[in-house]
Amino acid sequence: MCGICGCSDKPEEQVHERSAHAPGERAARLQLRSSSTLKIEQSLMNKNQRFAEQNRSFLASRSCVAINLMGSPGAGKTALLEALVRRVPELGLLVLEGDQATERDAERIRKAGCPALQINTGTGCHLDAHAVGHGLAQLAPEPGSMIILENVGNLVCPALFDLGESARIVVLSVTEGDDKPLKYPHMFRACDVLVLNKLDLLPYVDFDLERATDYARQLKPGLEVFAVSATRGDGLDSLSNWFRSRGSAR
């Protein structure tokens, strides 16, 4: 898994280390590991940033715009894209789909009438700029296109990785709880737009739209917020206009 988020695929090694070493030796080993990890993380982030800048240059040379769409698994990102594809055909949307496995989401987007390319990350918990660069090359966007990068479902790591996008959107469904901005502050601080999705389920869950908006804007003053139902259509006109404004700005 991702070294940046602190995931480890060797929990048994950590348990063994705790039991097999004296406190002083263990502290020294942990300090050495922390130093090495920091260097690796800095190298990884610097490398990603270089690829992100290449992507940004590639997009700018074609007057294209890329939007990084993030959110938890099941927040409704793909359903939202399906609805937008049908509402803003004039934008010439293209989609890069990020998932650990399967082509299910890319197939859904193609059925909605939009070219889509699937990027499977395996054990990776986010898209990175290098993979996106390869995806952009395969998509070969026409001048003036808008590319949506639907990131792997995750409220942590995707916020850390620049992909060369010009804007970031986080989708939060009402089924997830209105305290998510407080629990995952970096994600909401890093985004330009918050989409509160699944309004059709609001009568059945304990979710306060105003409270969620307030929590998010405490982290990112001026954050744009749209409350929508991707399946029923509530609020999609306003969100579609936001995408049109990003398209005209290019």
For 57-94, the pLDDT digits (tens) are 999 999 999 999 999 999 999 999 999 999 999 999 99
Position 137 scores a pLDDT of: 97
Quote the pTM value: 0.86
For residue 28, what pLDDT is reported?
59
Quick one: CA torsion of 73, 75, 79, 84, rounded to 10 degrees?
-120
Measuring CA to CA, how many Å separate 213 from each of 203, 220, 223?
Answer: 18, 10, 9
Q: Residue 94: its pLDDT value, please?
A: 98
29 token code pair: 């080993």
* Sign for the pseudo-dihedral over CA of 112, 118, 120, 121: negative
Amino acid at 13: E
Phi, psi of 224 (to 5 degrees): -80, 135
Would you give the distance in Å from CA 74 to the centre of its chain? 13
Tell me what pLDDT residue 42 has: 82
pLDDT at 141: 97
Q: According to the model, what pLDDT value does residue 25 have?
A: 64
Structural domains of the chain, with CATH: 45-249 (3.40.50.300)
Burial of 68 (0-12, 13-18, 19+ CB in 10 A): buried
CA distances from 237 to 46, 120, 125, 181, 195 (A): 39, 31, 32, 25, 13
The SS3 call for residue 243 is helix
Strands (E), 158-220: 167-173, 193-197
Local structure of 176: helix, strand or coil: coil
Full pLDDT tens readout for the chain, 250 residues: 466 554 544 433 333 333 344 666 666 565 655 665 666 678 889 999 999 999 999 999 999 999 999 999 999 999 999 999 999 999 999 999 999 999 999 999 999 999 999 999 999 999 999 999 999 999 999 999 999 999 999 999 999 999 999 999 999 999 999 999 999 999 999 999 999 999 999 999 999 999 999 999 999 999 999 999 999 999 999 999 999 999 876 6
Rounded CA gap, 141 and 132, in Å?
13
Residue 212, CB half-sphere, CA atoms under 13 Å: how many? Answer: 24
Residues 146, 196: Cα–Cα separation, whole Å: 22
Taking the CA atoms of 134, 135, 139 and 143 in sequence, report the sign of the dihedral they define: negative
